[in-house]
Structures are given as structure tokens and as C-alpha cells.
Amino acid sequence: MRAFLDTNVLLDTVIERKNPLFCQNADAILQAGKNGVVDLYMSVLSIPIIAYVIKNVTVDVKKAKISNLTSIVKVLPSLPEHVNEMFECPLNDIEDTLQLLSAKTGNCDVIVTRDVEDFALSEIPAISPEDFLGRILE
């Protein structure tokens, strides 16, 4: 299975959110990727978002956190043609649309996100981290 991780799931592990379940789920998903249970993908667009959100650490710490992620999660491009495709996409959020287009570029089977409703009109099914873990651990 080729699973695309939305930025919110990646941030759950990078910034260790206050909700421990978010962190546990994100860590379990990354572990499944590390163990070869599933192929994990992310958009290159997630990298500057992550770097911005963790702005209160040094550049070296930022690079280390991003390097840890990209050692497990393959980075998909955002292509110039995605800009024009974005205008035709039924999703309401531009960032989500660009994430979806990256996921399509990577031929991903699912989008793992805590904002499933934002991807309701996506041609790639979106599932929550909990549902994804249930599916891959069956």
C-alpha cells in the first residue's frame, strides 16, 4: 500500500502535540513504514510548513527532524502543472489540493489525515490515522 501522509500527521510526530494519541498514532505509522509494512509518502510542500511550525529550534535541529522523517517517508514533488490543476480541483483548501496532487503524482492509494472531511471530494480516499493503523495492522 502506498500511503500519503498529510502535513498534520507529520507534525504530530515532529512537534509532539499535547494529545498523546496523535503522537502515538503518527509514531506507529512511521514505524510501519520503517518496518516495510507500508510505503509512506509526503509532499515536498510539507517540508517548509514543518520548518516554519518548529521555528523555535535551531536550523540544525530542524534539519535533523526533517532528515529523520525523510529517511522513512519518500518525498513527492509539487509540479508546475499542479498550479493549473489546482483551479479545477473540487477541494476548498489550496494547500490540501496541492497535497492531493502530490499524492496523485505518487500513485498513492490513501491519504492519511486528521482532516478527513477536508478531502471528502478527493479522488484518493482519505482516512484517519486510527483507521489507517487498523487497516494495516489487520
Please give the average per-residue pLDDT across 36-51, as a whole number: 95
In three-state secondary structure terms, 127 is strand
The domain limits of the chain are 2-136
**What does pLDDT average to over the chain?**
91
Q: Measure the CA–CA gap between 29 and 37, rounded to whole angstroms.
A: 9
Q: Measure the CA–CA gap between 49 and 10, rounded to whole angstroms.
A: 10
Backbone angles phi, psi at 126, to 5 degrees: -110, 135
- Record the pTM: 0.92
Q: Which CATH class is domain 2-136?
A: alpha beta
Grid coordinates representing 117 are 472531511
User: At 91, is the pLDDT very low, low, confident or very high (cuts 50, 70, 90)?
Assistant: confident
Chain segment 47-90, per-residue pLDDT in tens: 999 999 988 889 999 999 999 999 999 999 887 787 778 788 88
